[in-house]
């Protein structure tokens, strides 16, 4: 087995608080990795770092052998499109203004247009830099990772409250042709067929999670446990390779927890990889192939559940005396 | 001026403002972008379109503007002007969005407000651009020269170049659009299983096209084209404006009746009676304004009666459960009653009091046959039994009405299509939580820019129509106030409800219209104060809507199903308070 995610010397601090302080661990492809530790150990920050939502202060994360920062950087095509569009708009506006308003000759207007093009492209580059500075520790491009198959859920559920449960799920899949406005307007037949498929997939997922009775209810009206399930369903609808689950069964009843664990194991056997933060020890011990224990921003120990259960340092730091 | 004329110019303004507000419905309602500078795109659309229909600037006269393309073949007409205005407003919307859209909601609002003020100041200060602080005039709306329709004038078709008789062509176009719009509305009401009158009227009105399995839009188009062709043919063969106008008017009234009666079915008898009581109460409360002698009595009397009416309504809401449950429907029924009395009965009071029975009948007839204008010096004369001699014409307002109605429904359809597509789903997700959208592999920025471009283009389109309607532009018109009017319109009907925007525009302009009419009963010196008072009243209206109806009159709309279905699958939803109090009119 090979590592799908390699975390090396990861570091992140907020003001004076060092949340993650040189964490190093691997997640094996096709495994379920549990991430545990006491409150404030840096688990959620680690999640935000490896899902691309935060920019690390130091260290590297490699997903599928490639560094996250490279995965998230705008592709050269994208830079070319935006920079070119910005440049051409300014250039043509400047050229037209020079020709029509200021009454300059053709050559001079073309010159103004060329200068405008350079100015526009420069403005794009400048605002990209300004954006980096403005966003601070937040990375604005984590969506690139979801496209590559690295998906996450949130610890505090982030359901889309105004939308129905089913819509929450139908939003997730990638490369929907109807998300392009031209297709949505002009190729309605193809979009409608795609939507019908999505509808069935979403319904199937809701049935699997046993929340199909609230499929058309607004997500904001669901109970806490139902929201957890919805969040899980949404990330699974993405069909990701590596799923980061932040406390997936907190607030879910025991019978359904059992079912979810079965489901996650089945998915693991089908080749999916999971990394799970969870405080329910029974769940995490039964489910995980490997457990990473974190404390004070560092990895304390990594190993199979039986080993972790016996490890004195883990018992002292986290598990306590049974 | 007959009441019908007042209503027609009212609907034109409502249509233009609905299109303007649709830009904000998309930006704010669907995407959550609070654009306080929406009027800027209205301005861009208005001025850009006008440059295409102005003659070249004459340096010798007192007006100055940067471009006048009216003499340029192919380009110099309204059609091109409107299209270019829409595109330019959209592009500028995108350019404004690129740097600002990453800002948080409130910062975005302030920044874009600033941009719109810059646009306004630019027009005001740069005298070479669009005549500076003075009005920009000197253009006329399309085909205006052919109205009123009565002469055997010729019309040269643009692009094709052929000449056709003006009157039948323009009447046919007007009739076709009005007919198609009425059919489309009727098609939405129709339920083949239960409402027989609606179905048979739909079948007859579509000239049988409804029998096939065509979609609603196609049926409306076919029906409209057939109706237009028929009426054009009739006018070509015989000078029969009056019969043609009667048929079109009565068909629309029949549709209105069917639509209203479908609503009445949903009301209980006591709710209906309460509504009539409310409408009559409002009528009585306003009586002191025209009839009281002194200004003090006018104001005090009306305010006292209005207070009593609102107090009674409030008390009924607190004490009667059925009243509270249906309060919006009761207000709807009351408004309907009030408008009917105002439209049909009040105009007759004057002639009847003077003992002029045939005058009263003529007024009633003129209001009933709304598609035609009556009276005046020019027109086609008819001798009708019981009514005497009638001078009939089709004026330009009616032609404009047809156009604006068509555009408004077009904008509505576009918004429905957008909201019900996967694209609209992403927009709603962006409004709810951008981080979730990011976690699902979609870039919120791209969607926000697209929403901004499309919304601004709608604003620009409305601006071009506004320029056409007012036949003159000044920078004062494009004050930030307009943005807030549009925002109020969006809020009245329900921020993310496409139907609600039309309702909001109607409610807002009905309020404006009513206060103008009431102000005319005050002495001239006081009229200005009464009209100025409207701004304060508008603020109160805003507060009332936000406080008591945070989801608007029509409530939240459900856009989870595609438009192709034709039906919204949403059943009654328990536990959603906003819907429970009558916002279920979807």
Does position B159 have pLDDT exceeding 90, yes or no? Answer: no
Nearest to B442 among A143, A151, A217 (CB): A143
Q: Which helix (H) or strand (E) holds A66?
A: strand A66-67
Strand order in the sheet with A58-63: A17-28, A3-14, A58-63, A66-67
Alpha-carbon span B16 to B9, nearest angstrom: 11
Q: Is the CB of residue A203 less than 8 Å away from at least one CB of chain B? A: no
Nearest to B421 by CA among A165, A174, A190, A143: A190
Does position B583 have pLDDT exceeding 80, yes or no? Answer: no
Nearest CA in chain B to A185: B417
**Which comes out higher in pLDDT, residue B218 or B90?**
B90
Note which residues in 34-73 of chain A have CB less than 8 A from chain B.
51, 53
- Residue A45: CB atoms within 10 A of its CB come to 24
pLDDT band (50, 70, 90) for residue B574: very low
Tokens (6 digits) for B557:
């709309």
Average pLDDT in chain B: 85
- For the stretch B457-484, pLDDT in tens is 999 999 999 999 999 999 999 999 999 9
Residue B21 confidence (pLDDT): 96
* DSSP SS3 for B363: helix
CB spacing of A143 vs B438 below 8 angstroms: yes
Least confident of A252-261, B60-69, B209-218, B403-412: B209-218
Alpha-carbon span B395 to B393, nearest angstrom: 6
Q: Is the dihedral of CA A265, A266, A267, A273 positive or negative?
A: positive
With beta carbons less than 8 A apart as the criterion, state whether B147 and B157 touch.
no
Q: Note the ipTM here.
A: 0.86
pLDDT band (50, 70, 90) for residue B372: confident
CB spacing of B440 vs A143 below 8 angstroms: yes
DSSP secondary structure string, B417-470?
Answer: HHHTSHHHHHHHHHHH-HHHHHHTT--HHHHHHHHHHHHHHHHHHHHHHHHHHH
Residues in CB range of B304: below 8 A, 6 or more apart: none
CB spacing of A184 vs B95 below 8 angstroms: no
CB spacing of B422 vs A172 below 8 angstroms: no
- For the stretch A13-31, pLDDT in tens is 888 889 999 889 999 999 9
Least Cα separation, residue B65 to chain A (angstroms)? 11
Does position A116 have pLDDT exceeding 90, yes or no? Answer: no
**Which comes out higher in pLDDT, residue A113 or B564?**
A113
pLDDT band (50, 70, 90) for residue A87: confident
Peptide bond into B65 cis (omega under 30): no
**Mean pLDDT on A93-101:** 77
Residue B571 confidence (pLDDT): 33
Percentage of residues of chain A with pLDDT beyond 90: 28
Residue B48 confidence (pLDDT): 94
Percentage of residues of chain B with pLDDT beyond 90: 36
CB spacing of A178 vs B422 below 8 angstroms: yes
**Mean pLDDT on B512-517:** 86
Q: Is the CB of residue A170 less than 8 Å away from at least one CB of chain B? A: yes
Rg (alpha carbons) of chain B, rounded to whole number: 25
Does position B280 have pLDDT exceeding 90, yes or no? Answer: yes
- For the stretch A219-232, pLDDT in tens is 999 988 888 889 98
Least Cα separation, residue A143 to chain B (angstroms)? 4
Cα–chain-centroid distance for residue B143? 22
pLDDT band (50, 70, 90) for residue B414: very high
pLDDT band (50, 70, 90) for residue A95: confident
Does position B246 have pLDDT exceeding 60, yes or no? Answer: yes
- For the stretch B102-113, pLDDT in tens is 777 788 899 999
Nearest CA in chain A to B453: A181
Tokens (6 digits) for B146:
């052919």
Alpha-carbon span B57 to B99, nearest angstrom: 35
What region, left, alpha or beta, does residue B388 occupy, with left being phi > 0 and alpha being psi -120 to 50 degrees? left
Residue A133 confidence (pLDDT): 64
Does position B119 have pLDDT exceeding 50, yes or no? Answer: yes
Residue B103 confidence (pLDDT): 79
Torsion angle (degrees, nearest 10) of CA B341, B344, B350, B352: -110
Average pLDDT in chain A: 86
Alpha-carbon span B379 to B375, nearest angstrom: 8
**Mean pLDDT on B77-84:** 92
Residue B573 confidence (pLDDT): 32
Residues in CB range of A219: below 8 A, 6 or more apart: A159, A160, A161, A162, A163, A164, A165, A167, A168, A227, A230
CB spacing of A143 vs B418 below 8 angstroms: no
Alpha-carbon span B566 to B568, nearest angstrom: 7
Alpha-carbon span A153 to B124, nearest angstrom: 52
Nearest to A209 by CA among A287, A264, A139, A271: A264
Angle at B499 between CA B493 and CA B505, to 5 degrees: 55
Nearest CA in chain B to A162: B432
Percentage of residues of chain A with pLDDT beyond 70: 95
Alpha-carbon span A288 to A274, nearest angstrom: 9
Residue B149 confidence (pLDDT): 67
Nearest to B439 among A146, A179, A180 (CB): A146
Q: Which helix (H) or strand (E) holds A67?
A: strand A66-67
- Most confident stretch, A105-114, B378-387, B403-412: B403-412
- For the stretch A269-311, pLDDT in tens is 988 899 999 888 888 988 999 999 998 888 888 999 988 888 8
Alpha-carbon span A180 to A192, nearest angstrom: 13
State the number of CA atoms in the 13 A half-sphere of B562 facing the CB.
21
**Mean pLDDT on A54-62:** 88
- For the stretch B485-496, pLDDT in tens is 999 999 998 888
- For the stretch B315-365, pLDDT in tens is 998 998 888 888 888 888 899 999 999 898 888 888 888 888 888 888 888
With beta carbons less than 8 A apart as the criterion, state whether B19 and B407 touch.
yes
CB spacing of B442 vs A179 below 8 angstroms: yes
With beta carbons less than 8 A apart as the criterion, state whether B105 and B32 touch.
yes
CB spacing of B423 vs A140 below 8 angstroms: no
pTM, two decimal places: 0.88
Where does A247-314 show beta strands of DSSP type E? 273-277, 290-295, 298-303
């Amino acid at each position: 087995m090979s590592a799908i995610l390699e975390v090396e010397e990861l570091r992140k601090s907020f003001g004076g608080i060092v949340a993650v302080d040189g964490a190093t661990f691997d997640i094996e492809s096709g495994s379920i990795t549990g991430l545990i530790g006491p409150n404030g150990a840096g688990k959620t920050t680690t999640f935000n770092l490896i899902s691309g939502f935060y920019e690390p202060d130091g260290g590297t994360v490699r997903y599928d052998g490639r560094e996250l920062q490279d995965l998230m950087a705008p592709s050269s095509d994208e830079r070319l499109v935006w920079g070119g569009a910005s440049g051409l708009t300014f250039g043509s506006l400047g050229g037209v203004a020079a020709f029509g308003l200021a009454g300059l000759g053709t050559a001079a207007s073309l010159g103004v247009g060329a200068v405008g093009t350079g100015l526009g492209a420069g403005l794009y580059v400048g605002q990209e830099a300004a954006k980096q500075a403005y966003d601070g520790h937040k990375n604005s491009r984590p969506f690139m990772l979801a496209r590559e198959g690295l998906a996450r859920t949130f610890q505090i559920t982030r359901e889309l409250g105004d939308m129905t449960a089913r819509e929450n799920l139908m939003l997730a899949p990638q490369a929907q042709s109807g998300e392009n406005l031209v297709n949505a307007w002009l190729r309605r037949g193809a979009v409608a067929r795609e939507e019908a498929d999505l509808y069935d997939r979403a319904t199937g997922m809701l049935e699997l999670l046993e929340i199909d009775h609230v499929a058309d209810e607004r997500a904001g009206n669901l109970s806490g446990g139902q929201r957890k399930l919805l969040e899980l369903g949404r990330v699974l609808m993405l069909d990701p390779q590596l799923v980061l689950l932040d406390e997936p069964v907190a607030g879910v009843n025991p019978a359904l927890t059992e079912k979810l664990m079965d489901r996650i194991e089945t998915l693991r056997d089908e080749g999916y990889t999971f990394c799970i933060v969870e405080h329910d020890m029974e769940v995490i011990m039964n489910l995980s192939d490997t457990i990473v224990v974190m404390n004070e921003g560092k990895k304390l120990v990594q190993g199979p559940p039986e080993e972790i259960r016996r490890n004195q340092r883990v018992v002292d730091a986290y598990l306590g005396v049974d | 001026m007959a009441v019908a004329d007042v209503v027609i110019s009212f609907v034109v303004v409502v249509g233009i403002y609905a299109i303007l507000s649709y830009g904000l419905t998309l930006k704010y309602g669907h995407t959550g972008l609070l654009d306080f500078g929406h009027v800027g795109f209205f301005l861009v659309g208005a001025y850009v379109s006008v440059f295409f229909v102005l003659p070249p600037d004459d340096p010798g006269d007192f007006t100055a503007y940067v471009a006048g393309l009216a003499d340029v073949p192919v380009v110099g007409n309204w059609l091109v002007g409107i299209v270019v205005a829409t595109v330019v407003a959209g592009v500028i919307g995108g350019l404004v969005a690129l740097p600002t859209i990453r800002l948080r909601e409130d910062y975005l609002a302030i920044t874009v407000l600033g941009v719109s003020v810059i646009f306004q100041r630019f027009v005001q200060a740069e005298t070479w651009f669009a005549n500076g602080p003075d009005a920009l005039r000197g253009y006329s709306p399309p085909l205006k020269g052919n109205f009123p329709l009565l002469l055997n004038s010729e019309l040269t078709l643009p692009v094709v170049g052929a000449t056709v008789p003006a009157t039948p062509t323009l009447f046919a176009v007007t009739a076709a659009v009005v007919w198609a719009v009425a059919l489309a509305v009727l098609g939405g009401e129709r339920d083949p299983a239960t409402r027989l009158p609606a179905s048979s009227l739909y079948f007859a009105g579509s000239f049988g096209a409804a029998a096939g399995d065509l979609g609603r839009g196609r049926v409306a188009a076919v029906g409209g084209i057939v109706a237009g062709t028929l009426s054009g043919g009739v006018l070509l063969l015989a000078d029969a404006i009056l019969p043609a106008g009667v048929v079109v008017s009565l068909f629309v009234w029949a549709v209105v009746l069917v639509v209203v009666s479908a609503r009445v079915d949903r009301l209980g008898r006591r709710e209906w009676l309460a509504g009539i009581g409310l409408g009559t109460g409002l009528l009585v409360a306003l009586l002191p304004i025209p009839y009281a002698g002194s200004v003090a009595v006018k104001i005090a009397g009306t305010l006292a009666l209005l207070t009593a009416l609102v107090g009674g309504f409030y008390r009924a809401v607190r004490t009667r459960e059925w009243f509270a449950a249906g309060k919006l429907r009761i207000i709807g029924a009351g408004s309907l009653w009030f408008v009917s009395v105002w439209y049909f009965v009040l105009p007759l009071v004057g002639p009847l009091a003077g003992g002029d029975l045939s005058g009263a009948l003529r007024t009633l007839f003129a209001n009933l046959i709304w598609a035609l204008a009556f009276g005046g010096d020019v027109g086609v004369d008819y001798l009708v039994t019981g009514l005497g001699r009638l001078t009939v014409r089709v004026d330009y307002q009616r032609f404009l009405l047809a156009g604006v109605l068509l555009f408004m429904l077009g904008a509505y359809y576009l918004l429905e299509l957008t909201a019900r597509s996967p694209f609209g789903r992403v927009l709603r997700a962006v409004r709810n939580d951008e981080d979730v959208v990011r976690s699902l592999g979609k870039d919120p920025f791209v969607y926000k820019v697209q929403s901004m471009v499309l919304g601004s283009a709608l604003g620009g389109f409305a601006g071009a129509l506004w320029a056409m309607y007012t036949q003159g532009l000044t920078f004062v018109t494009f004050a930030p106030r307009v943005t807030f009017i549009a925002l109020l319109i969006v809020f009245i009907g329900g921020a993310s409800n496409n139907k609600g925007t039309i309702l909001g525009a109607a409610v807002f302009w009905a309020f404006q219209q009513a206060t103008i009419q009431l102000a005319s009963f005050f002495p001239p010196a006081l009229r200005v104060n009464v009209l100025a008072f409207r701004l304060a009243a508008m603020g109160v209206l805003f507060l009332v809507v936000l406080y008591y109806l945070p989801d608007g009159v029509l409530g939240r709309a459900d856009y989870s199903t595609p438009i192709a279905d034709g039906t919204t699958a949403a059943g009654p939803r328990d536990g959603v308070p906003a819907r429970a109090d009558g916002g279920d009119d979807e």
